[in-house]
């Protein structure tokens, strides 16, 4: 079943291999929404706040969903999550953590900061495909975005 939505998905992931695999799986799952990628937390914040290299990117649509790795160079995913969820302009954008960390303190921290979901990256391709399919089925297909309701 094809997934269609105008709001882009922002993937904040420093690993090129992980991003390529994620994008390949989403293409196989017929995800139609644009997928943006930021490799660092600093770049993600620049994109969201339209600063730095994104200062003149008025035509770049605001992401309607963020998939965020925790372990990033520079400003890490924990700090990005905290900053975005404390900002009234971004608090309604769903943020799902997609990381290798299964540490209980990371999971607890992320939910306390307002994460909407927490997925631990599996090692095997079959398990990864199942996790990505579950993400696509719920977050990109079944879930109703607050932007749909608010117009």
State pLDDT tens for residues 91-134.
999 999 999 999 999 999 999 999 999 999 998 999 999 999 99
Residue 43 inside a domain? The answer is yes
Range of the domain at 115: 9-51+60-141
Q: Does residue 37 lie within any of the structural domains?
A: yes
Is 105 a domain residue?
yes
The pLDDT value recorded for residue 4 is 38
pLDDT digits (tens, 9 = 90+) for 44-65: 999 999 999 999 887 788 899 9
Do the domain assignments include residue 23? yes
For residue 71, which of 46, 94, 103 has the smallest C-alpha distance?
Answer: 103
Q: Tell if the pTM clears 0.85, that is, is over it.
A: yes
Radius of gyration of the chain (CA): 15
Does the residue 83 lie in any domain? yes
**Number of structural domains the chain divides into:** 1
Question: Residue 2 domain-assigned?
Answer: no
Q: Write the DSSP assignment of 19-85 as a string of letters.
A: HHHHHHHHHHTTB-S-EEEESSHHHHHHHHHT-GGGTT-TTSPPPSEEEE-S--SSS-HHHHHHHHH
């Amino acid at each position: 079943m094809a997934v269609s939505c105008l709001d882009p998905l922002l993937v904040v992931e420093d690993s090129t291999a992980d991003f390529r695999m994620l994008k390949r799986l989403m293409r196989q799952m017929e995800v139609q929404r644009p997928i943006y990628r930021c490799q660092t937390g600093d770049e993600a914040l620049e994109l969201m706040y339209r600063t730095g290299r994104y200062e003149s990117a008025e035509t770049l649509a605001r992401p309607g969903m963020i998939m965020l790795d925790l372990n990033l160079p520079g400003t890490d995913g924990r700090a990005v999550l905290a900053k975005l969820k404390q900002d009234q302009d971004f608090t309604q954008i769903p943020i799902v953590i997609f990381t290798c960390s299964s540490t209980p303190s990371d999971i607890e921290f992320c939910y306390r900061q307002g994460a909407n979901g927490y997925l631990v990256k599996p090692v095997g391709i079959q398990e990864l495909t199942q996790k990505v399919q579950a993400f696509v089925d719920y977050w990109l297909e079944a879930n109703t975005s607050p932007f749909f309701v608010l117009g």
